[in-house]
Amino acid sequence: MILLEFGGTLAKLLLGRKIKFEQGKIIAFDLPFFLCSMETIKEMTRDALKKDIKALTDLYFYGWVYGFVVTKNIVNQLKLKKFEERYKVCMDIMSVLGFGDYQTLSFKRADHAKFKVIGNPFALQFYKNDNIFCYFVRGIESGGGCWVHETLMNNVEFECAAQNGQYCLHANLAPHRIAELGEEFIKKQFDLSYLIEKETKFMKDFGEDPAFFGIE
Ligand SMILES: [Zn+2]
């Protein structure tokens, strides 16, 4: 069943020419893409881990930019007007990116989306380890979440497949939900004020009004 759904999403994107492989270029949702080895993201993560939370926040932010620019086009091109529609389609597309299969536990617009990322091949490269590793992919998830929820979302990792060998437990959270988590927990996930400053600047540079996402 999962295989059929997965094949369905990928086939739809290819047949609908949302993803195109042409001579010398790959185009997805009207944006230029490239295929990247997990080994690259692994080395980027290892290097950032040797530095500090600012370096890890930068890595998260690069993923966030990916999620933000691509999901804007997904929502517009597929004319996803309703929240539930945006949520389902974007989660289906996340499951074909290569960072695991996405299974939702709960979600509420402009509040949260909590999900399991099953068999995440990126995190499994680090098994077995006590740390969390999914900075880059959490960025992708939350950058996309901004358009799905029409609110600034950021993502935290409660459990990582690097620890349990099976799945990561992630949540896209609106600012009021992140504030509930407590400083000790948050400071392992990102440097939040540094991150929001970068996200706000990117939105403006990209021609978006941060107020649309609830940023004053
Ligand atoms: Zn993880």
Prediction pTM value: 0.96
Q: pLDDT tens digits for 31-55?
A: 999 999 999 999 999 999 999 999 9
CA 160–ligand 1 middle distance (angstroms): 3
Domain residue ranges of the chain, discontinuous segments joined by +:
2-207
CA 100–ligand 1 middle distance (angstroms): 10
Contacts of 25 (CB under 8 A, 6+ apart): 32
CA 209–ligand 1 middle distance (angstroms): 31
CA 44–ligand 1 middle distance (angstroms): 15
CA 123–ligand 1 middle distance (angstroms): 5
CA distance 89 to 83: 10
- Categorize the per-residue pLDDT at 1 as very low, low, confident or very high, splitting at 50, 70 and 90: very low
Q: pLDDT tens digits for 96-133?
A: 999 999 999 999 999 999 999 999 999 999 999 999 99
Ligand 1 ion: nearby residues, β-carbon < 5 Å: 123, 134, 160, 168
- The total number of residues written for the chain in this structure: 216
Strand 154-159 versus strand 112-118 pairing type: unpaired
Q: Which CATH class is domain 2-207?
A: alpha beta
The three state secondary structure string of the chain is CHHHHHHHHHHHHHHCCCEEEECCEEEECCEEECCCCHHHHHHHHHHHHHCCHHHHHHHHHHHHHHHHHHHHHHHHHCCCCCHHHHHHHHHHHHCCCCCCEEEEEEEECCCEEEEEEECCHHHHCCCCCCCCCCHHHHHHHHHHHHHHHCCCCEEEEEECHHHHCCEEEEEEECHHHHHHHCHHHHHHHCCHHHHHHHHHHHHHHCCCCHHHHCCC
CA 79–ligand 1 middle distance (angstroms): 31
CA 86–ligand 1 middle distance (angstroms): 24
**Which sign does the torsion angle of CA 172, 13, 199, 123 carry?**
positive
Q: Are 99 and 117 in contact (CB under 8 A)?
A: yes
What are the tokens at 56?
A: 């890890």
Q: Check residue 159 and give its pLDDT.
A: 98
CA distance 159 to 114: 12
Amino acid code (one letter) for 199 = E
7 vs 58, residue with greater confidence = 58
CA 211–ligand 1 middle distance (angstroms): 31
